[in-house]
Amino acid sequence: MPEIVQDLISVNNFMVGRKGWTPDRIGIHVTEGSEAATESWFDNESSDVSSHFIVSKVGGIKQEVSLKDTAWTQGRKSNPTAKIVLARQNVNPNYYFISIEHEGNGLEDLTDVQRNASAWLINFIRQQYPKIQLDRDYIIGHHEIYDKKTCPGKINIDKLIAVAKQLEASEKTMARPKIVWSDYFKDYLIVVKVISNEEWYFVPFKQLMIKESLKAQTPLNEMKDEPING
């Protein structure tokens, strides 16, 4: 699981509070430079730029601005295409956006580890702000607000959202594994892997110490989904 390293003290460019707004959108950005250079720019009072998070190429996550405060990342608007920005024409998007910068340049997509870390971060943010959904109306590229930039360039936001959905599903499965009853085994089966309804693998409850799971012969939706009593 990634770890968020907070670096809230050194950033000079942000506004305390959000003018009464609660964040409900996430902005995706690319740094067009190294993580260190981006942090230095955020720290420079003359830049008037900051972001809530930076995700490095190696999957590190740094928080530069508190979520309750306004980062200065996507405040300018020019021919916006994002639905929410069009609906809130008189509102600075910074007030309701949480911004994620990704170390890199606009000519390349995220590294695999960077994408996984960013997807994890998106789900972490959503835990704090459940109104944010995993779709393109809520996860928005900077150029959809300000068309004079191509940011985030080649970053595939759809793929990023897909990975976030996969992580969310995986976390839910790990938090509460599916348990079914087998008349054949006369035992509860702990479902450990699902490829499809016809192909799934399990460990009998009485044999938790066996090394490998078994492939099922019965479609999963024909099993009795029951909790363990006692």
Q: Which helix (H) or strand (E) holds 127?
A: helix 112-128
Q: Is residue 230 classed exposed, middle or buried when 0-12, 13-18 and 19+ CB atoms within 10 A define those classes? A: exposed
199 and 98 inside one domain: no
Predicted local distance difference test score (pLDDT) of residue 229: 44
Predicted local distance difference test score (pLDDT) of residue 98: 98
Predicted local distance difference test score (pLDDT) of residue 99: 98
Count of C-beta atoms within a 10 Å radius of residue 153: 19
Task: Give the strand pairing for 97-102 and 70-71.
Answer: unpaired
Tokens standing for 40? 């230095």
Q: What is the mean pLDDT of each run of 10 residues along the chain (230 residues)?
A: 75 90 98 92 86 95 94 95 97 98 96 94 94 97 97 97 90 71 86 80 74 71 60
CB within 8 Å of 172: residues ≥ 6 apart? none
129, 154, 173 - which closes a domain: 173
112 and 158 inside one domain: yes
In 3D space, the residue among 221, 190, 218, 224 whose CA is nearest the CA of residue 206 turns out to be: 190
Question: Residue 186 has what DSSP assignment?
Answer: T
In a domain, 68, yes or no: yes
In a domain, 230, yes or no: no
Cis-peptide into 152, omega within 30 deg: yes
Predicted local distance difference test score (pLDDT) of residue 46: 81
| Letter string b/e over residues 59-92, b meaning 16 or more CB atoms within 10 A of that residue's CB | bbbbbbbeeebbbbbbbebeebebebbeebeeeb
Predicted local distance difference test score (pLDDT) of residue 7: 77
Q: How many domains does the chain contain in total? A: 2
CATH of the domain at 76: 3.40.80.10
Phi, psi of 137 (to 5 degrees): -75, -20
Predicted local distance difference test score (pLDDT) of residue 103: 97
Tokens standing for 8? 């809230």
23 and 121 inside one domain: yes
202 and 127 inside one domain: no
156, 173, 190 - which closes a domain: 173
In 3D space, the residue among 114, 132, 116, 139 whose CA is nearest the CA of residue 31 turns out to be: 114
In a domain, 33, yes or no: yes
56 and 154 inside one domain: yes
Contact by Cβ (8 Å): 100, 55? yes
Residues of the domain holding 84: 4-173
The whole model's pTM is what? 0.75
Residue listed under structure tokens 């909790």: 227
Predicted local distance difference test score (pLDDT) of residue 213: 61
Predicted local distance difference test score (pLDDT) of residue 211: 52
Q: How far apart are CA 30 and CA 43, in angstroms?
A: 17
